[in-house]
Chain A
Amino acid sequence: MSVFTLSQAAKEGVLLKELSALTEHHRENCEPYARILAASGYTPATSVAGLPWLPVRLFKNLELKSIPDDEVYKVLTSSGTTGAEVSKIYLDKAAAAEQTRKLGATVQSVLGPKRLPMILVDTKAMLKDRKSFSARGAGVLGMSNFGRNHVWALDNEGHVDVEALKGFLEQYGDEPFLIFGFTYLVWLHLYEVAKDNGLDLSNGILIHSGGWKKLVDQAVSPEEFRNRLAGVGLTKVHNYYGMIEQIGTIFLEGPTGGSLYCPDFADVVIRDPETWAEQPVGQPGLIEVISTLPTSYPGHVLLTEDLGVVHGVDDGDWPGKRFSVMGRLPRAEARGCSDTYREAA
Chain B
Amino acid sequence: MSDLQRLREAFRTALDLPADAPVDDLQYQDNEKWDSLAHMSLVAAIEDEFSVMIDTDDVINMSSFAEATRILGKYGVDFNE
Interface residues of chain A, those whose CB is within 8 Å of chain B, are 73, 93, 96-97, 100-101, 104, 107-108, 111, 113-115, 127, 130, 141-142, 144-146, 148, 150
Asked if B17 is at the interface of the complex by the 8 Å CB criterion, the answer is no
Determine whether the beta carbon of A97 is less than 8 Å from that of B63.
yes
Determine the chain A residues whose CB is within 8 A of the CB of B23 once the complex forms.
none
User: Contacts A141-B37, A142-B36: A115 and B59 contacting too (C-beta < 8 A)?
Assistant: yes
Contacts of B29 in A (CB 8 A): 73, 93, 96-97
Alpha-carbon separation in the docked complex, A97 to B56 (Å)? 14
The 8 Å CB contact of A148, one of B36, B44, B63, is B44
Pick the contact of A141 from B36, B53, B63 — CB < 8 Å?
Answer: B36
Contacts of A104 in B (CB 8 A): 56-57, 60
Residues of B within 8 A of A107 (CB): 56
Chosen A-B contacts, 25 in total, with CB atoms closer than 8 Å, are: A73-B29, A97-B29, A97-B63, A100-B60, A101-B60, A104-B56, A104-B60, A108-B56, A108-B57, A113-B56, A113-B57, A114-B53, A114-B55, A115-B53, A115-B54, A115-B56, A115-B59, A141-B37, A145-B40, A145-B60, A148-B43, A148-B44, A148-B47, A148-B53, A150-B40
A210 to B53 Cα, complex, angstroms: 30
Are B53 and A130 neighbours in the complex by a CB distance under 8 Å?
no
Q: Report the bound CA distance from A97 to B64 in whole Å.
A: 13
In the bound complex, what is the Cα–Cα distance between A142 and B36 (angstroms)?
A: 8
Q: A73-B29, A96-B29, A148-B47 are in contact. Are A114 and B56 (CB under 8 A)?
A: yes
Chain B residues with Cβ below 8 Å from A150 are: 40
Is B49 part of the contact surface with A, judged by Cβ < 8 Å? no
Q: Which residues of A contact B78 (CB under 8 A)?
A: none
B35 within 8 A of A: yes
B32 CB → nearest A CB, Å? 10
Residues of B within 8 Å of A111, CB to CB, are: 56
Q: Interface residues of B, CB < 8 Å — how many?
A: 18
Interface centre among A101, A111, A144, A150 (most CB of B within 10 A): A144
- Pairwise interchain contact B63-A145, C-beta atoms closer than 8 A: no
Within 8 A of A (CB), among B1-58: 29, 35-37, 39-40, 43-44, 47, 53-57
Specify which chain A residues have a CB less than 8 angstroms from the CB of B54 in the assembled complex. Answer: 115
Give Cα distance in the complex from A93 to B56, angstroms: 20
Shortest distance between the CB of B4 and any CB in chain A (Å): 24
Across-interface contacts of B55 in A (CB, < 8 A): 113-115
- Identify A145's interface contact among B35, B53, B56, CB under 8 A: B56
Question: Which chain B positions have C-beta within 8 A of A141?
Answer: 36-37, 40
Q: Which residues of B contact A101 (CB under 8 A)?
A: 60-61
In the complex, chain B residues whose CB is within 8 Å of the CB of A108 = 56-57
Complex Cα distance, B74 from A130, in Å, reads 32
Closest partner residue, chain A, to B63 (CB atom) = A97
Closest CB-CB distance, B25 to chain A, in whole Å?
Answer: 16
Query: Chain A nearest CB: distance from B29 CB in Å?
Result: 5
Q: Which residue of A lies closest to B36 (CB)?
A: A141
Interface string of B55-73 (1 = CB under 8 A from A): 1110111010000000000
Residue in A108, A113, A142, A148 whose Cβ sees the most chain B Cβ within 10 Å: A148
Central interface residue in B37, B39, B53, by most chain A CB within 10 Å? B37
Q: A73-B29, A93-B29 are in contact. Are A146 and B35 (CB under 8 A)?
A: no
Task: Tell me the complex Cα distance, A100–B40, Å.
Answer: 14
Contact B53–A144 (Cβ < 8 Å):
no
Chain A residues with CB below 8 A from B61, complex form: 101
Q: Are A130 and B60 in contact (CB under 8 A)?
A: no
